[in-house]
Structure formats: C-alpha cells, structure tokens
C-alpha cells in the first residue's frame, strides 16, 4: 500500500490522474466502489486516491507482488535492484516524467503510448517540406555514477 507523501505538492495532472484512478477502481465492481467510498469517509482524499492509483497500476501492468508500480518506485535504478529500484521498474516512471505525465496515471502503458503518439504527430505537423524534423534528445540516465546510458 502506498504511503502518502504530504510534503510532495500535487500538480493539476496529478490531481486529474488520481481522480481518474478513483473512478476507474470504483467502476471495477460494486464491492470496490463500496470499499473506496468507505475509505473516503475515514481517510484523507489523497491517501485513498493514491491507493486507487496503486491498484490500477498493478492491475493494468499485470505486476507481480514483488514488482513496484511507477508511482511508488524510485528515480534511479540500482545495480542490485531492490523493490522499486530495478531498471525495469524505474524506466516507465522516468518515461512518464519525460513525457510530462503524472506518475499517478492509472493506466501507465496506455498513457505513455498516447503521449508518444501525440509527440510524433506534433513533430510530423511541425516538419516542413525540405526541412528535417526536429528530434528531441533522448533523456540520459546515469547508472551508479557510470557513463550515461541513452534510452531511459
């Protein structure tokens, strides 16, 4: 279960993603709707919505119990891994941040695909005849103070 990080300010995108996660989890079943409605009576809104986002991410990414969803993992992969710090866990989170998506997106894979398609479409529209398309650099991620690794 995710822990609420009260010191972290939520952006408008975060609030939107958290609201969509709560709606999505409540639409899964009447039991889930009743459970989250009850949680909202006794716990802070943010904590309940983070729990909904966590649940949605685990389900949509089909994560195993020992895998961490993007909203709860770190920003730096460690050589020895650990919960939330393997490259496989960190990569989607960094990609979401690079695309300007909230880490609380209830359906991260779909959101990443949609944002990448929108970015490609914008590049195509911006390209003029006889002019090469402007290609944004790939974010660079450093692994354990080693040389930069492209394609995070």
Q: What would the pLDDT profile of 60-106 be if each residue is shown by its tens digit? A: 999 999 999 999 999 998 888 788 889 999 999 999 999 999 999 99
Name the pLDDT band for 8 (thresholds 50, 70, 90).
confident
Read off the pLDDT of residues 98-151 as tens digits, 9 standing for 90 and up.
999 999 999 999 999 999 999 888 888 887 555 555 566 666 665 555 555 555
Place of tokens 């989607």: 92
pLDDT for the residue numbered 140? 60
Model pTM score: 0.75
pLDDT for the residue numbered 1? 46
Place of tokens 């986002």: 53
Mean pLDDT, the chain, rounded, equals 85
Mean pLDDT confidence for 22-36? 96
Q: What is the CA radius of gyration of the chain?
A: 18
pLDDT for the residue numbered 132? 57
Query: Is the distance from CB of 73 to CB of 91 less than 8 angstroms?
Result: no
Name which of 139, 28, 135 is nearest 92 in CA terms.
139
pLDDT for the residue numbered 6? 53
């Amino acid at each position: 279960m995710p822990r609420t990080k009260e010191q972290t300010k939520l952006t408008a995108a975060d609030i939107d993603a958290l609201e969509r996660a709560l709606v999505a989890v409540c639409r899964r079943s009447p039991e889930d709707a009743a459970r989250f409605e009850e949680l909202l009576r006794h716990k802070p809104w943010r904590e309940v919505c983070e729990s909904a986002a966590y649940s949605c991410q685990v389900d949509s990414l089909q994560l195993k119990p020992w895998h961490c969803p993007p909203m709860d993992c770190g920003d730096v992969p460690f050589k020895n891994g650990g919960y939330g710090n393997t490259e496989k866990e960190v990569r989607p989170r960094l990609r979401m941040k690079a695309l300007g998506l909230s880490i609380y997106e209830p359906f991260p894979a779909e959101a990443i695909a949609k944002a990448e398609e929108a970015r490609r479409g914008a590049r195509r529209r911006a390209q003029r005849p006889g002019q090469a398309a402007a290609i944004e650099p790939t974010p660079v991620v450093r692994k354990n103070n080693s040389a930069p690794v492209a394609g995070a």
